[in-house]
Structure 1
Amino acid sequence: MTYIQEMEMVLMISLFLTTLLTLVLLGKFLKRNTTKVNRPPSPWRLPVIGNLHQLTLHPHRALKTLSLRYGPLMLLHFGRVPILVVSSGEAAYEVMKTHDLKFANRPKSKAVNGLFDGGRNVVFGTYGEFWRQMKSVCILNLLTNKMVASFEKVREEEVTELIEKLEKASSSSSSENLSECFVTITSDVTSRVALGKKHSQGDTARDFKKRVRQIMEIVGEFPIGDYIPALAWIDSINGFNKKIKEVSQAFGEIMDKVIEEHVEAGNRKEDFVDILLSIEGDKDSGLQAGRNDIKFVILDMFLGGTSTTSTLLEWTMTELFRHPECLKKLQDEVRSTMTPNTSYIKEKEVANMKYLKAVVKEVLRVHPSLPMIIPRLLSEDVKVKGYDIAAGTEVIINAWAIQRDPAVWGPDAEEFKPERHLNTTLDYHGKDVNYIPFGSGRRICPGIGLALGLAEVTIANLVGRFDWRVEDGPNGVDSDIAESVGLDICRKFPLIAFPSSVM
């Protein structure tokens, strides 16, 4: 065969393969375009910004209002990013149970990248082996029922200190800022069990508490640059980028001090930080955790142990003040259960207080600490409730809307009514997706026991040891239940009340 013949043969084969490939691709293209894609209902959106203009300062409320019109499974667009909003337990079941693995990732926002190095932590981390290992370390060394029980003495000492402060206010007939008290007690308990000592004194402590609040506000925002890259410059002008940098640097310095103190004291393995540092230096552990990773995990535990727990305490006392009949009923239970002639109500007594537990459950229903569960990211195409959801879609589960659904909770779903929990087996672990204050599935909050252990014993002592009075007016409890902004939703204004000791 001559050279020309060989070239002709090569050209013919190439032409045949090219034609075949073209036909295959054309077939796929035609099939894809003839297959109807069934997307969830969507509100009308503006060019470029999509549905961003429909968010308010309180997105959980705005999204619930939209869902009443467009349904419990709704597709929005924030700029170029598709957002699936889930507003019913039935739809949430498919996301957090049926297809949990496909929805197990987290989107990487500008805030997460700036504060947590793209998610090198448990809360915002990418689902995978590193995330599983770090979560396991946190649970085994801080969050198991056994570990939570071992911190009982710490809780008793800090609650006793709070009681002494309230006794002084009672003696002088003065008011007390309960919001500040709750931030302090949760911060102190978390510091002692996770960091080895209290960090509640001086300027550093005040800065620490301020930064915690700022982090929750930052990660709860919807910065324009996350959704419309061409407008990312706006985040520089409005100070968002600067705020991330300042808070990240401030917390980094605080964490550096905490770690340095432990390094100088030697590898004692006495607290959570010591354990994390020992893992960092253990090449046989299989966990590739660097010093920054340790900082982020410590920050995880501190945020989870302070902000959301103080918010729970704040809303519990707020609702009890707003519903004096519930406060009286709880006081009767606590005072009839507690050991006579004692100055402190112990956790073994709290364990038998059914109405107290009903009150806490109801507060977490109407005021979940995280109204919108931390967003998830879909890793592959999936069908949910018959709708086609594309990979790369971010998912917002509106727990606040789900837990106020009248179809599930009845016509009084908006009312605070602890009695609804007295004869149910409902728990906090997300088995019933109509009640998910801590989430559900693989990404459920692992610190449930730590939060409730402190919250229940604190509430029992506050209502058992004191009668309470709040003043009417601009900041009175009945006229002021305005919400703050952020990932967690605490009161916008501090809760001020007058304690009166009954001991």
Structure 2
Amino acid sequence: MISQLYETSPGLLAVGVALSLATMVVFTFRLWGEFVGNAILSTFNGGVLSTGRAAPGPKWQWPNGQFADKFLNGAARSEEWRKYGPVYRIWAGPKPEIVLTTPEDLKVFHTDSDKHFKPKDGNFGWFFDQVLGRCVGLLSLDEWKNMRRVVDPSFTHGATVKRISVTEADAKSFVENLHTISNEGAEVAKAKGRFTVPAMAAFMKFPFIFTAEVVYGNMNEAEKEELWAIAEKRQALLPFFFKGSFYRTSYLKWFDRPAYNQLQEFLNSWAEFNTRMARSRREQALPVPIVKYWDEYLQGNITLEQVTHTLDEMLFANLDVTTHVLTWAITLIADHEGAKKELREEIEAHKDNLQEYITNVNTHLHRCYYESLRLRPIAVFSIGESAPSVKNFRGIHVKPNTMVLVDTYAINVRNPFWGPNSEEYDPSRFKNVKSTDLRYNLFVFGFGYRKCLGQYLAGHMVKAILVHLFSQYEAVIIDGRKGKSDYDIDKTTWVPVADVTVELTKLQ
């Protein structure tokens, strides 16, 4: 029948032949591109010296290597790439990245961590660089020290302890009003004392606004709504970070004008919002961080991009991160009766000193928090950094200034340090572990000289939510479970957030 159609429509036959030839040309070009690309990159830009052995690893793939796959399918790739051994090479576009999977090699790498460099664009390319390239997390050496001098004071351990009364009160208020965002509706949920919430949607906005008010001070509803609207614009840019190809270069402005315009609209609105917030807070004589950041910028000590990119890192880039941490902590406690029962008993024993309890790191609560971070790391593959010297990893001599990543799942879970039950949720494993032993055996807030700016604030916020949630409600995972200890993952974020539904029943 198809042949008859072609016989009666020779023009259609010509189109079909043309499409087939075009497909063959594209396929051939891709195969040739991968063959030539692998040969050229491995020879001239492989990231390793010929004095050592060759770096194993997956072949470079046209046109972006493995750079998106390591984030969007990290768990699967971590398992797949185990066959290459404890040290191997992947590609971010045309750039080599060396992956480490053992504490021993991490220790070798971090002997000079105070001299390490972060990639200006995170090895994502131009589009990412316009949004986050000058954030404090990607600055190096003196630039990093100068920016940390500016932003550190509000996020130190001492500063977050002083803020614990606000943290605890905000968490309590949020949990008490959870029924208003339930699937069943506020009135039904309150009347029945039982309701369900989708974990990601329910627990995303609180950490975001909570952190924003640390930076800007108390915000009115209009300011919160405007900031959330900007956050949605920012979230819409996320897919472009992973597209690679032209999106890794400034040629994007000619290749995809709508995406370029979308980027510029966000950047302009973000800069304008912060300018206005800094002016407003200064006029009110409020001693909040945004005023200090803006004063430092106006005095020429830091750049406007360093301010806006760092605030993006704190709020927008960490929106998925804090949601990930909070939802997994809730999910894993809810699904393990023994841990949940012990937590409830401990909370009851500390009900008269909750704020001190939340800041204490020698508790079952803290161990539950750390165990969820261990089992469900924020990203399976870390953002890379480079050393200024040659590094010898098991005979592979890595060139200076080559990006080195960490397979966090290999360190946190497959690592023999964690024993035969390493894949199980067991907070008690931290009871007798010295903090010094965790240095290269646990990836939570980074290794070496640099640590995450918000580690103390995030820890107090998450633990405050856990305290009030599990003391007020029985929590059960009713949807999103895959087998005994696995769960659905949300596909719209760059980190593996739990895509589960939690049923909450008010405790008497």
* TM-score class normalised by the smaller sequence: 0.7 to 0.9
Correspondence for 1:8: none
After TM superposition, list the pairs within 5 Å mapping 1:221-260 onto structure 2.
Answer: 221=242, 223-225=244-246, 243=259, 246-247=262-263, 249-250=265-266, 252-260=268-276
Instruction: Report if the CA contact (8 A) 1:52-1:77 is conserved.
Output: yes
The amino acid across from 2:444 in the alignment is P
Is residue 201 of structure 2 the alignment partner of residue 194 of structure 1? no
Distance 1:346 1:263, change over 3 A: same
Instruction: Report if the CA contact (8 A) 2:98-2:402 is conserved.
Output: yes
Deviation string, structure 1 residues 150-172 (Cα, Å, up to 9, x no partner): 32233133213212213663544
Is residue 122 of structure 2 the alignment partner of residue 106 of structure 1? no
TM-score by length of 2: 0.77
Deviation of 1:499 after TM superposition, in Å, equals 2.0
Distance 1:479 1:200, change over 3 A: farther
Deviation string, structure 1 residues 408-442 (Cα, Å, up to 9, x no partner): 21222111111111222237xx9611102111123
Distance 1:242 1:350, change over 3 A: same
Is residue 83 of structure 2 the alignment partner of residue 72 of structure 1? no
Deviation of 1:451 after TM superposition, in Å, equals 0.8
Instruction: Report if the CA contact (8 A) 1:174-1:498 is conserved.
Output: yes
Deviation of 1:123 after TM superposition, in Å, equals 1.4
CA distance in 1, matches of 2:387, 2:85: 20
Is residue 364 of structure 2 the alignment partner of residue 347 of structure 1? no
Instruction: From 377, 398, 402, give the equivalent of 2:411.
Output: 402
Distance 1:206 1:304, change over 3 A: closer
After TM superposition, list the pairs within 5 Å mapping 1:275-424 onto structure 2.
Answer: 275-282=292-299, 287=301, 289-303=302-316, 306-339=319-352, 346-351=354-359, 354-424=363-433
Helix, strand or coil: the match of 2:449?
Answer: helix
Deviation string, structure 1 residues 96-117 (Cα, Å, up to 9, x no partner): x213245433253575643554
Helix, strand or coil: the match of 1:262?
Answer: helix
Deviation string, structure 1 residues 6-59 (Cα, Å, up to 9, x no partner): xxxxxxxxxxxxxxxxxxxxxxxxxxxxx9521453136267659539946744
Instruction: Report if the CA contact (8 A) 1:223-1:235 is conserved.
Output: no
Correspondence for 2:279: 263
CA distance in 2, matches of 1:251, 1:226: 16
Instruction: Report if the CA contact (8 A) 2:327-2:497 is conserved.
Output: yes
Helix, strand or coil: the match of 1:391?
Answer: coil
CA distance in 1, matches of 2:371, 2:260: 34
Deviation of 1:483 after TM superposition, in Å, equals 4.9
- Count of equivalent residues: 447
Correspondence for 1:61: 75
Distance 1:171 1:258, change over 3 A: farther
TM-score by length of 1: 0.77
Deviation of 1:336 after TM superposition, in Å, equals 2.8
Instruction: Report if the CA contact (8 A) 1:321-1:477 is conserved.
Output: no
The amino acid across from 2:457 in the alignment is L
Is residue 162 of structure 2 the alignment partner of residue 150 of structure 1? yes
Helix, strand or coil: the match of 2:413?
Answer: coil
Instruction: Report if the CA contact (8 A) 1:75-1:84 is conserved.
Output: yes
- After superposition, the CA RMSD in angstroms is 3.5
CA distance in 2, matches of 1:476, 1:62: 17
CA distance in 2, matches of 1:130, 1:56: 28
Instruction: From 461, 464, 467, give the equivalent of 1:457.
Output: 464
Deviation string, structure 1 residues 125-150 (Cα, Å, up to 9, x no partner): 2x13222101121112x111222123
Distance 1:478 1:50, change over 3 A: closer
Is residue 505 of structure 2 the alignment partner of residue 500 of structure 1? yes
Percent of aligned positions with the same letter in both sequences? 15
Deviation of 1:481 after TM superposition, in Å, equals 3.0
The amino acid across from 1:397 in the alignment is V
Deviation of 1:362 after TM superposition, in Å, equals 0.5
After TM superposition, list the pairs within 5 Å mapping 1:117-136 onto structure 2.
Answer: 117=130, 119-125=133-139, 127-136=140-149
After TM superposition, list the pairs within 5 Å mapping 1:431-450 onto structure 2.
Answer: 432-450=439-457
Deviation string, structure 1 residues 350-378 (Cα, Å, up to 9, x no partner): 34571111111100001112332212234
CA distance in 2, matches of 1:322, 1:200: 35
The amino acid across from 2:78 in the alignment is K
Distance 1:40 1:333, change over 3 A: farther
Instruction: Report if the CA contact (8 A) 1:316-1:360 is conserved.
Output: yes
Instruction: Report if the CA contact (8 A) 1:83-1:394 is conserved.
Output: yes
Helix, strand or coil: the match of 1:471?
Answer: strand
Deviation of 1:273 after TM superposition, in Å, equals 0.5
Deviation of 1:209 after TM superposition, in Å, equals 4.1
Moved more, 271-280 or 74-83: 74-83
Instruction: Report if the CA contact (8 A) 2:87-2:99 is conserved.
Output: yes
Instruction: Report if the CA contact (8 A) 2:51-2:397 is conserved.
Output: yes
Helix, strand or coil: the match of 1:500?
Answer: strand
Moved more, 58-67 or 131-140: 58-67
Correspondence for 1:84: 98
List runs of 5+ in structure 1 lacking aligned partners.
Answer: 1-34, 340-344
Instruction: Report if the CA contact (8 A) 2:72-2:494 is conserved.
Output: no
Deviation of 1:121 after TM superposition, in Å, equals 1.9
When Rg is computed on C-alpha atoms for both structures, the one with the higher figure is: 1
Correspondence for 2:232: 210
CA distance in 2, matches of 1:192, 1:61: 34
Deviation of 1:449 after TM superposition, in Å, equals 0.7
Distance 1:42 1:245, change over 3 A: farther
The amino acid across from 1:294 in the alignment is V
Correspondence for 1:10: none
CA distance in 1, matches of 2:51, 2:465: 53
The amino acid across from 1:417 in the alignment is D
